[in-house]
Amino acid sequence: AQTVTQSQPEMSVQEAETVTLSCTYDTSESDYYLFWYKQPPSRQMILVIRQEAYKQQNATENRFSVNFQKAAKSFSLKISDSQLGDAAMYFCAYPRIYDKIIFGKGTRLHILP
């Protein structure tokens, strides 16, 4: 069974600085996807970025990028130029193909003005 582990329950970063959220996962599959979801306070969860395991290139979406280390089963999220609107819970997630998503416990990110 797949598992997703986020070891940082909370993090804080100064506005305009860079922060990295960590995630490790376990799977026996060779081809899969990994996601980072963002859940702002009292708002719905949205997908921030996705990574396909067979692609060696790390995914990037504007200020968000990942460091995907397949052999180490590590999938960290880097947020550059942090903004107040980035404050949220961030979930690392493993989507089982045409099936449920397995989520980590999340990291609450605080942005300090």
Partner 1 sequence: DTGVSQDPRHKITKRGQNVTFRCDPISEHNRLYWYRQTLGQGPEFLTYFQNEAQLEKSRLLSDRFSAERPKGSFSTLEIQRTEQGDSAMYLCASSPSYRGQGGFPYEQYFGPGTRLTVT
**Which residues of this chain interact with partner 1, rule CB under 8 A?**
4, 9, 33, 35, 37, 43-47, 50, 91, 93, 95, 97-106
Least Å distance, CB 16 to partner 1, is 28
Least Å distance, CB 46 to partner 1, is 7
For residues 64 and 80, which CB has a smaller minimum distance to partner 1 in the complex? 64
46, 20, 24: which is closest to 34 by C-alpha? 24
For residues 18 and 54, which CB has a smaller minimum distance to partner 1 in the complex? 54
